[in-house]
Amino acid sequence: MLIALFPGDGIGPEIVAEAKRVLDALAIDGLTYADGLVGGAAYKAMGHPLPRETLDIARSADAILFGAVGDPDCDALERHLRPEQAILGLRKELGLFSNLRPAKVFPELAHESALKPEVAGSIDLLIVRETNGDVYFGEKGFRTTAEGHREGYDIMSYNEAEVRRIAHAGFQAARARRGKLCSVDKANVLETSQLWRDVVIEVASDYPDVALSHMYVDNAAMQLVRNPGQFDVIVTGNLFGDILSDQASMCVGSIGMLASATLNGSGQGLYEPIHGSAPDIAGSGKANPLATILSAAMMLRYSLGLSEQADRVEAAVAQALRNGARSADLGGAMTTVEMGDAVLAAL
């Protein structure tokens, strides 16, 4: 089993190192690693955020453990050379269209939530975010209007095949959980969302056991704060999912806690914390590695078929929190390595 390790930029190397220590401690037979550069680190070393060498490693791997990309040194680069193109490129090149972002409150962290603890305590949801289409991949550009004003544009588009496959992913996830799927769109304004809603309704006939509802994205943002316990699985597009999952992270306590898996249906997956590279704290030892460690647990479960080991890692994270492990984002003072030590001690 080959794992591609792509730490990326900023705090990426620090958090991936802790996840790797946890994987090593599991002493899994036949697990091998291949290191690759992505993002600003790859641009600086090789002139491209997603070099061919990295892509070749990704294609041959069973799973990718990814840190984060984003580097202020690269802010002035043309868009196709910016660090973020590494994650967009990997998702597109490997057909990784289904980004699963679970959000659940660890009881010890309920008081860290932006919500009242009793409201936070009700959160146990999964956002299924489409990651191969939408405004991220549509035609983009700059032009000048007839009046001489500079104008930027990003075309938002989805075709029915793209919506159908993510809808199936959403229904299947809901079926495996509490049987409720909320499809989030903006069908009162956007053509893409009208198509999205029509196709989700068509797909629903294959899942009579799943209760489907629809919500406009602005309402969904409000409901996530007002009554998050109503959600089981949310299926939504790339842009809406990106925004709603960051919002969900504040509801569960910290963006440093949210893991993710991005799957393509073949068993191969990319696993990463939902947070970015946090350049402001890079190298300071303040980063919380738990989202990356929990992403590694998702990798064990979804790509490597090692559910027992995944359960062990998740239980160790929960135990470390019960034992008082807290990084700065969780109101404590433990370093990245001390947080990793706490998980290892609980493993």
Nearer to ligand GGG, 63 or 203 (CB): 63
**200, 165, 246, 76: CA torsion to nearest 10:** -120
Among 41, 50, 68, 316, binds ligand GGG (CB under 6 A): 68
Regarding 242 and contact with ligand GGG (CB under 6 A), the answer is: yes
Among 69, 163, 199, 325, binds ligand GGG (CB under 6 A): 69
Nearer to ligand GGG, 256 or 276 (CB): 276
- Structure tokens given for 283: 């190298």
Site of tokens 């239980």: 315
Q: Is 122 helix (H, G, I), strand (E, B) or coil?
A: coil
Decide if 186 is catalytic: yes
Beta strand spans in the chain (E) = 2-8, 32-35, 63-68, 98-104, 124-130, 140-144, 150-154, 180-185, 211-216, 233-236, 259-263, 269-273
State the catalytic residue, choosing from 43, 242, 271, 302. Answer: 242
Q: How many residues bind ligand GGG (CB under 6 A)?
A: 10
Neighbours of 335 (CB within 10 A): 17
Decide if 218 is catalytic: yes
Decide if 207 is catalytic: no
Nearest CA to 316 out of 23, 101, 1 is that of 23
For 278: left if phi > 0, alpha if psi spans -120 to 50, otherwise beta; the answer is left
Q: Which stretch in 68-76, 107-115, 299-307, 315-323 sits in contact with ligand GGG by CB under 6 A? A: 68-76
Regarding 289 and contact with ligand GGG (CB under 6 A), the answer is: no
CA distances from 253 to 104, 111, 138 (A): 10, 7, 33
Query: Please, what is the minimum distance in Å from the beta carbon of residue 295 to ligand GGG?
Result: 9
Nearer to ligand GGG, 119 or 270 (CB): 270
Query: Please, what is the minimum distance in Å from the beta carbon of residue 130 to ligand GGG?
Result: 11
Q: Which stretch in 67-75, 102-110, 164-172, 279-287 sits in contact with ligand GGG by CB under 6 A? A: 67-75
CB 203 within 8 A of CB 180: no
Regarding 70 and contact with ligand GGG (CB under 6 A), the answer is: yes
Regarding 273 and contact with ligand GGG (CB under 6 A), the answer is: yes
- Structure tokens given for 301: 């479960």
Decide if 136 is catalytic: yes
Neighbouring residues of 61: CB distance < 8 A, sequence distance ≥ 6: 2, 3, 4, 34, 268
Q: Is 321 helix (H, G, I), strand (E, B) or coil?
A: helix
Query: Please, what is the minimum distance in Å from the beta carbon of residue 77 to ligand GGG?
Result: 14
Nearer to ligand GGG, 253 or 276 (CB): 276
Nearer to ligand GGG, 84 or 185 (CB): 84
Nearer to ligand GGG, 207 or 240 (CB): 240
Task: Tell me if 91 is assigned to a ligand binding site.
Answer: yes
Q: Is 29 exposed, middle or buried, given 0-12, 13-18 or 19+ CB atoms closer than 10 A? A: exposed
State the catalytic residue, choosing from 9, 20, 186, 302. Answer: 186
Phi, psi of 327 (to 5 degrees): -90, 180
Regarding 14 and contact with ligand GGG (CB under 6 A), the answer is: no
Site of tokens 């002139």: 47
Binders of ligand GGG among residues 85 to 114 (CB under 6 A) are 87
Nearer to ligand GGG, 170 or 273 (CB): 273
DSSP string, 57-82: HHHH-SEEEEEE---GGGTTS-GGGS
Decide if 116 is catalytic: no
- Structure tokens given for 211: 């209760």
Query: Please, what is the minimum distance in Å from the beta carbon of residue 243 to ligand GGG?
Result: 10
Task: Specify binding-site residues for Mg(2+).
Answer: 218, 242, 246
Annotated binding site for substrate: 91, 101, 129, 218
Active site residues: 136, 186, 218, 242, 246
Catalog residues that contact ligand GGG under the rule CB under 6 A.
68-70, 84, 87, 242, 272-274, 276
